[in-house]
Amino acid sequence: MTQPQPTILAPDPNTRTPAFKLPPKTCDSHCHIFGPHALYPYAPGRSYTPHDAPLADFIALQAKLGIDRAVIVNATCHGRDNRPVTDAIAQSGGRYLGIANVDENFTDKELETLAEQGIRGCRLNFVRRLGNVPELAVFHRLVDRIKPLGWHVDLYFEAQDVPEFVSMLRALPIPYCIDHMGGVRAGPTHDAASFAALVDLLKTDEKCWMKVTGPERITASGPPYDDVVSFGRTLIEAAPDRVIWGTDWPHPNVKAMPNDGDLVDIVPRYTDDAALLQGLFVDNPARLYRFA
């Protein structure tokens, strides 16, 4: 099978060992496996084509960073094919779980099979520039169908769109987890009102979880991401028992590729409270994803 030409950056091959030592059973709660294309072809009609970033590369990255667990999020470039995630889970000895891509064409039996394979939720993308934003009627029907499985819904927004969805999110009958600090932007484009709405939602809705991820997406100044620290600190303080962390490796659709060692070392700048870091890295993801 001919390898398609990538349209996005490749991950940094020179990950440095972070200065901060992660606690045992740290979970990377947002990461991806891409391909290899020869085994898991990228979906027709995808909005981007990644470089292959297979499971073996991810295992090596985890060893370098000191990560024991992971929740692999199936990316849009794989479409409805969730095998990159479920096959990785099957090989992990209980260390990995996953978030699937599903749509209305999945049967109840197919959804149940995914749950048996270690899927704990599904992801829906509300970022308009990436396309395929779900119709709200379809979204609510999917929520009703995944509720009996004990799943939550993983949501990707851009910050300026968050306020229009707040009332809908509060009314959801299942937990939901918002990606990448709600897509807030630092610097002169800072979405102050939208971020305030996001923080209030996190504080006041116990169904709301937040991924304190993506400083490379948020920053206006670049590494070491000084302009992101206040956002991470604010979110952790808002709901210390409902925040989780991840690398977002291999970082699809970023303007500048980060070094994953930097993404570990920024976190102690959000808080130096050992109990809060234990929650962020270990206890909170164990509870949300139901690790054994």
Residues 6+ apart with CB under 8 A from 192: none
Q: Is 248 assigned a catalytic role?
A: yes
- The encoded tokens of residue 127 equal 């970022």
* CA distance between the termini of the chain: 38
Beta bridge partners of 155: 124, 178
The one-character DSSP state at 48 is -
Given 28, 248, 262, 283, which residue is catalytic? 248
Classify each residue of 207-243 as buried b or exposed e, where b means 16 or more C-beta atoms within 10 Å of its C-beta. bbbbbbbbbbbbbeeeeebebbbebbebbbbbbbebb
- DSSP-derived 3-state class of residue 95: coil
Q: Which of 131, 184, 137, 175 is nearest to 155 (CA)?
A: 175
Q: Which amino acid is at 188?
A: P
Q: Distance from CA of residue 151 to its chain's centroid?
A: 15
Q: How big, in percent rounded to 5, are the helix, strand and coil portions of the chain?
A: 40, 15, 45
The answer to whether 153 and 146 have CB atoms below 8 angstroms apart is yes
Task: With both helix axes pointing from N to C terminus, report the angle between 229-238 and 192-204 in degrees, rounded to the nearest 10.
Answer: 30
The answer to whether 50 and 8 have CB atoms below 8 angstroms apart is yes
Question: 210: part of which helix (H) or strand (E)?
Answer: strand 208-211
Instruction: Point out the residues that are catalytic.
Output: 248
